[in-house]
Amino acid sequence: MKGGIDHMDRAGERPIIATTRSVKRRGPRLSRADRTPLGLWFWEIDRVLLLLVSMLIAIGLVAVAAASPVAAQKLSTTTASLDPLYYFYRQLMWVIVGVPVMLGISMLPKPQARRFAIYGTMIFLALLFLVPLIGTSVNGAQRWIGSGMFRLQPSEFLKPFFAVSLAWVLSLRLHDQSLPVVPLSFVLTGVIAVLLMAQPDLGQTIIFAASWFVLVLVAGLSMRIMAGLGVAGLIGLVLAYFFYPVAQQRINIWLFAEGDSFQVDKAHATLTAGGLIGTGPGAGLAKFQLPEAHTDYIFSVIGEEFGIIACIAIAVLYLAIIVRVLVRLLDEEDSFLILAVCGLVAQFGGQAVINMAVNTQLFPSKGMTLPFISYGGSSMLALSIGMGLLLSLTRRNPYAARVSMTRNWNRK
């Protein structure tokens, strides 16, 4: 029988209605029954990771507010003075722009996130080639394109896109061992390193090289090859020392206390001026002698005004983000996702470690920002893109059955 009533039940008493289409059940907004894209995103996203990153961004705003008067005073003149919180307001604006970018990218399905990263790599690699031709110089380094509010640093944006794209290239090797993806990735990284050293930017070069090293390590190259690559890296650092004057100067200051050590000395003095609990918000005085207090040396400003305990707490927060991401990978079997997430978290953690090590005189000065804490528009937007990709690639169905990758570790 056609129509709404299809047939009768066995007792012949109740008609059974045949539905002509399936209707997805939708519950209250953001409930477990909500099947909208927003509802699915809310339950699949790593909310613990999102909370940790949000805490880091909030700490960054407080830190920039503490360091802003230093930079504003140095740029003020007798005829025109900047508002003491000038850089805080600008950083707040970049946070308002960056957070929606991060959340929007985190909503991308994994295939679209990968495609987005590949397109981003091509665009910003092309811009990196244009830096020597049309780039803008700041403090003797030609790393930017544009000027004023519209100035961007292509290498900052290239980093997260490069990590995901390189992970995709290397994941192809796991499906076909004959593909020369490792040499191809080495050539691509080498080209980027040459472009960065021409700016010059040794810090970013180290980050790109370290990301490549981590990815090929996770991809499964033999330990003999990895040892050879490690030796090659050390040789590269030695060559940089002898043929790159800026690197030589900074290494001499760090190892032999030779040359102008004003920056690192002031950073150490500012970091330790507050003791364990700090002088209090806005009460620091040593920070006014500190160069680049709102960017490279903001960790020292935190140490003066909020104390060594606050610095330790920030270091623990970075460690918690890294551990959270790596634990999330323990039950992941997709080779591309494992490589991409490892590359992104290696960049994030490596940049944080280098910045904190420079501020504590454990590493030569590198001119590298502290992720989500230092002031900077390009840095904030690039980090938001990278964290958005990381959140997207770590999304998962909370009800999907998974098998831990550690299940075979103790088997022969």
Q: How far apart, in whole angstroms, are the C-alpha atoms of residue 163 and residue 217? A: 14
**Strand, coil or helix: 97:** helix
Q: Look up residue 200 and give its DSSP letter.
A: T
Phi and psi at residue 299, to the nearest 5°: -65, -35
Residue 53 is predicted with a pLDDT of 95
Q: Provide the residue type at 263 as one letter.
A: Q
Q: Quick check: is 216 in a domain?
A: yes
pLDDT in tens, the chain (412 residues): 444 444 444 444 544 444 444 445 455 666 666 667 777 777 788 899 999 999 999 999 999 999 998 888 887 776 778 888 999 999 999 999 999 999 999 999 999 999 999 999 999 999 999 988 887 877 777 888 877 667 888 999 999 999 999 999 998 877 777 788 888 888 999 999 989 988 888 888 889 998 998 998 888 777 777 787 778 778 877 777 777 776 677 777 666 666 666 777 788 888 888 888 888 888 888 888 888 888 889 999 999 999 999 999 999 999 999 999 998 888 888 889 999 999 999 999 999 999 998 888 888 777 788 999 999 888 999 999 999 999 999 988 666 655 555 455 455 4
In a domain, 281, yes or no: yes
Residue 254: inside a domain: no
Contacting residues for 226 by C-beta, under 8 A, at least 6 apart = 213, 216, 217
Residue 138 phi, psi (nearest 5): -135, 125
- Cβ atoms of 303 and 67 within 8 Å: the answer is no
Distance CA 244, CA 141 (A): 14
Which of helix, strand or coil describes residue 245?
A: helix
CA distance 299 to 337: 32
Distance, in Å, from the CA atom of 385 to the CA atom of 99, rounded to the nearest integer, reads 9
Q: C-alpha angle 77/366/96, rounded to 5°?
A: 65
User: Is the residue at 4 inside a domain?
Assistant: no
Structural domain includes residue 400: no
Residue 259's pLDDT is: 60
Number of domains in the chain: 1
What's the domain range around 350? Answer: 43-221+260-394
Asked whether residue 299 is domain-assigned, the answer is: yes
The bridge status of strand 5-8 relative to strand 15-17 is antiparallel
Query: How far, in Å, are 62, 182, 289 from residue 284 at the CA level?
Result: 14, 50, 11
CA distances from 58 to 16, 52, 245, 311, 379 (A): 58, 10, 38, 15, 16
188, 211 Cβ separation under 8 angstroms: no
Residue in 42, 154, 157 with CA at minimum distance from that of residue 106 = 42
* Amino acid identity for residue 318 in this structure: Y
List the one residue out of 95, 90, 111 whose CA is nearest residue 337.
111
Q: Is 15 helix (H, G, I), strand (E, B) or coil?
A: strand
**CA dist., res. 27 & res. 40, Å (int):** 12
Compute the distance between CA of residue 25 and CA of residue 346 in angstroms, rounded to an integer: 41
Angle formed at CA 206 by CA 201 and CA 129, multiple of 5 degrees: 50
Q: Which residue shows structure tokens 């040459």?
A: 194
Encoded amino acid at 75, one letter:
L
Question: What gap in Å lies between CA 24 and CA 69, rounded to an integer?
Answer: 55
Helix or strand or coil: residue 411?
A: coil
Scan for tokens 């690197």, then name that residue.
Answer: 247
Indicate whether 313 belongs to any domain: yes
Is 38 contained in some domain? no
- Whole-angstrom distance, CA of residue 387 vs CA of residue 133: 31
